[in-house]
Structure 1
């Protein structure tokens, strides 16, 4: 399990909730002023997941206003960039003379060294926050600073890839080992750097390591999205990303996980087939039909691969899974 703490307002007396949570946010982000019309019975749920020196925190909260003032900056500056993926609700961010409205599936950004005000409106909101120390972002500071305050979409491109990563990490945080946290933090830093560079069309400012890592993650997302296609194979994956098959294999070798391209593709197909076999709604669907739906052209090859992966034939797994 990744290092994680949880804050639930329901665990505290109503009169203590807002102030306790304000103190926690000042630790996870930076000292801030907060205002809300509902401090007497404030509702908030927050998880704080540590990825090495970076932090990701899913947050559901009553409406309020955050302020980072020059006085607070002079008192303490952790020198970090913040991103919020807005999952529900809206917000208005004011940075100096610039005011930008953000809606769902957009990122808003801030810099702990610059004054800002974030107003979340009149409705409860849900975000996934990211805190990244400036020193750990593989991007020149002048480049990163130009992105702060701009509207960034999470619906496509690098924004969507980062959103997918955040969703997976926050949803499956218990499936990782503590030693995975720094590695995931490194992935996060590279994704944010690629997102910022893309916003400014400044890919040349990225390090070769970030370029490579971002391409590998994009390929993995592509495989996950298209694993059910029986025509998908290693040459097709390489062609879809305009690289050679040898370079594709090299990318997976440098990833260091031990997975090959074909192995990763088969792993995705097997995991989906396994879920289908365990689903009571698929009780009457033949095993070979499930295999075909998940990209396996030959039932016998599917059975062998399934037994190698899970220690039993797919028919036995289904029988065991569907027992009362």
Structure 2
């Protein structure tokens, strides 16, 4: 699994909780002043997940105020950008003379080289934080700096794609190997750069390889969202992204990790059908109906593809999976 550090305030005496969490935040982010009206009974839950040079951290805590002052900047500046995907709660962000309110399903951004103050509202907050070195972001600092402090939605476009990526990494962090960390940080840096560039409509500032990777990630997300549609095929995928089928193939050759676009689509459909076949909820549903629900137009083609992928016909896999479940079930 990825290197990870977990903090639960409930495991500490109430008098020590806030100070211990403040120490953790100083290691996670650039040094900040932290204040809270709940110091005596402070509550926080945080996981710091290391992706090499990038840290991602799901955080839930009582209302708190974060301040990055000029003095702290002079004393220590790790030269990094911070993003918070706000999942619950709201906060007031002050940067210079500008004051903005950030609510759920938005990104808050800051720069360790610029003073700011963030005060959460009276309710607890939940977010996924990201600390990314400026040198890792494939975007000129003059461009990236213009995005800081702007309100950015996570409900659509690149904001939604980045949110999906962060949710998946934090949810499934135990399934990745330590060697995956640098690769994940590269993908994350490209997504953040694409998000920033999109906010400013400055796509020309992105390196070509970042464009390709971001487009490939968008296409993969599109395939995952529409894989159950039997009409989805390579021409339809290319048309939805206003590219030719030949360029789609070249994208996957460069950025698909050795998998073709057609192979990625089929793998999505097969994995979902496999999950359904092992689910007792669908035990009475014929195999060919499950195949149809998962985008396969022909039952025979589904059976061949399933056998090639998993080493046995789908009906045999179902019997084996449901039989194994039954063997461990408690007697009535």
TM-score by length of 1: 0.98
Say whether 1:118 aligns with 2:81: no
Say whether 1:104 aligns with 2:112: no
Q: Distance in 1 between matches of 2:269 and 2:13?
A: 48
Comparing 272-281 with 312-321, greater Cα deviation is found at 312-321
Q: Where has structure 1 moved over 3 Å in runs of 4 or more?
A: none
**Deviation of residue 312 (structure 1)?**
2.1
Q: Distance in 1 between matches of 2:77 and 2:151?
A: 24
Q: Distance in 2 between matches of 1:86 and 1:256?
A: 30
In structure 2, the partner of 1:272 is: 272
- Aligned-residue CA RMSD (Å): 1.0
**Deviation of residue 223 (structure 1)?**
0.3
**1:256/1:263 CA distance change after superposition, 3 Å:** closer
Q: Distance in 1 between matches of 2:312 and 2:12?
A: 48
Query: Partner of 2:195: helix, strand, or coil?
Result: helix
Task: Please list every run of 5 or more consecutive structure 2 residues that lacks an aligned counterpart in the other structure.
Answer: 327-332
Q: Distance in 2 between matches of 1:285 and 1:136?
A: 50
Q: Distance in 1 between matches of 2:214 and 2:95?
A: 29
Output one character per residue of 1:76-103: Cα deviation in whole Å (capped at 9) or x when no partner. 1111000000011111111111011011
Q: Distance in 1 between matches of 2:93 and 2:311?
A: 53
In structure 2, the partner of 1:262 is: 262
Say whether 1:44 aligns with 2:44: yes
In structure 1, the partner of 2:186 is: 186
Query: Partner of 1:21: helix, strand, or coil?
Result: helix
Q: Distance in 1 between matches of 2:229 and 2:287?
A: 17
**Deviation of residue 256 (structure 1)?**
5.3
Matches for 1:1-324 after TM superposition, within 5 Å: 1-255=1-255, 257-323=257-323, 324=326
Output one character per residue of 1:54-96: Cα deviation in whole Å (capped at 9) or x when no partner. 1111111111111111111111111100000001111111111
Q: Distance in 1 between matches of 2:80 and 2:8?
A: 25
Q: Distance in 2 between matches of 1:312 and 1:76?
A: 59
Query: Partner of 2:221: helix, strand, or coil?
Result: helix
Q: Distance in 1 between matches of 2:212 and 2:98?
A: 35
Q: Distance in 2 between matches of 1:276 and 1:217?
A: 26
Q: Distance in 2 between matches of 1:92 and 1:24?
A: 23
Output one character per residue of 1:229-282: Cα deviation in whole Å (capped at 9) or x when no partner. 101111111111111111111111111511111110001001111111122111
Q: Distance in 2 between matches of 1:291 and 1:39?
A: 55
Q: Distance in 2 between matches of 1:262 and 1:244?
A: 14
Q: Distance in 2 between matches of 1:45 and 1:319?
A: 42
Q: Distance in 1 between matches of 2:26 and 2:127?
A: 17
Q: Distance in 2 between matches of 1:155 and 1:251?
A: 26
**Deviation of residue 107 (structure 1)?**
0.2
Query: Partner of 2:146: helix, strand, or coil?
Result: helix
**Deviation of residue 304 (structure 1)?**
1.6
**Deviation of residue 30 (structure 1)?**
0.9
Task: Please list every run of 5 or more consecutive structure 1 residues that lacks an aligned counterpart in the other structure.
Answer: none
Q: Distance in 1 between matches of 2:318 and 2:256?
A: 33
Q: Distance in 2 between matches of 1:177 and 1:307?
A: 28
Aligned residue pairs total 324
2:109 touches 2:150 (CA, 8 Å); kept in 1?
yes
